[in-house]
Copies of this chain bind each other. A is one copy, B any other.
């Protein structure tokens, strides 16, 4: 058994990352390759096949054999059939049988899952969720992804094609417009995009007229990292953007903890690096909006695996394929 290995893939909009992983969750080799939204479906698939072949060759050098491949993909996937239904990062891959394509070329079972779900599976396996039975996972990036780990397993609900979409919980029915078309979703308050929109809005209303944050905006160079640096340096508009993020996260978590009777959350994704700018307002909001939980009992953690969470979760998917009695 100990020479059986799997490949975990994190298929993003700008890069595809692959890792060769053993049965204990150790990464033996990792690769990161630029990809592009402009690449066609064929080319992206071919590149991915080549990366997987390289990992398979590497496995042999380690004296092992690859027994399966797991993929995390942003957006909606049909994990039963292994199809990408729609990925905002890879718009060309609409209703595309990526799993079957890879299986045909590589002769290995291929499992697809939503990127936030593989984050949850990874943290649950060898990360911050390892010893927590029930927890909420949130990935803060351009958008806000969510997942639920219940009874130690990824919760799949009624298999309706969506689950754990915590980013689209409404935290304020008269709140800002979300890309999904609704008003007041968590994502419209607590994502990288929401930070940008908050600053854009302040600037276009003339509330922001000078200083480094204004310069970034004026030069068209505004991004979440820039807003974070300005917030750190004391810019009040940047700080308000992060305070709003923390407020919305605290309210959403209070609601989830109250309903689920649980108390743990793990935060990942690039924007969670701004932790020190939103954790205080998050804690205040959680206290203010919790009727049941004593806030000191809440367990709020950052991802332990960072970028590797998705790779390891995808790898775990492939390993589980052999241990699930129903498969």
> Distance in Å from the Cβ of A137 to the closest Cβ of chain B?
12
A291 touches B258 (CB 8 A): no
Other-chain residue from B159, B170, B178, B256 in contact with A254 (beta carbon distance below 8 A): B170
Residues of B near A263 (CB, < 8 A) are: 158, 160
> Distance in Å from the Cβ of A178 to the closest Cβ of chain B?
8
Residues of B near A293 (CB, < 8 A) are: 160, 162
Asked if A211 lies at the interface with its beta carbon under 8 angstroms from chain B, I say no
Chain A residues 56-70 with CB under 8 Å of chain B are none
Residue on B nearest A182 in the bound complex, by CB: B291
> Distance in Å from the Cβ of A53 to the closest Cβ of chain B?
35
Residues of B near A220 (CB, < 8 A) are: none
Of the stretches A28-36, A103-111, A149-157, A230-238, the one at the interface is A149-157
Per DSSP, are chain A's interface residues mostly helix, strand or loop, or mixed? loop
Q: How large is the interface on A (under 10, 10 to 19, 20 to 34, 35 or more residues)?
A: 35 or more
B160 touches A261 (CB 8 A): yes
A165 touches B292 (CB 8 A): yes
Residue on B nearest A292 in the bound complex, by CB: B162
Residues of B near A173 (CB, < 8 A) are: 171-172, 251, 289
Asked if A17 lies at the interface with its beta carbon under 8 angstroms from chain B, I say no
> Distance in Å from the Cβ of A294 to the closest Cβ of chain B?
9
Residues of B near A178 (CB, < 8 A) are: 291
Residues of B near A297 (CB, < 8 A) are: 160
Asked if A305 lies at the interface with its beta carbon under 8 angstroms from chain B, I say no
Question: For the complex, what is the distance from the CA of A254 to the CA of B181, rounded to whole Å?
Answer: 14
Interface residues of chain A, those whose CB is within 8 Å of chain B, are 133-134, 146, 148, 150, 155-160, 162-166, 168-173, 178, 180-182, 185, 251, 254-256, 258-264, 288-289, 291-293, 297
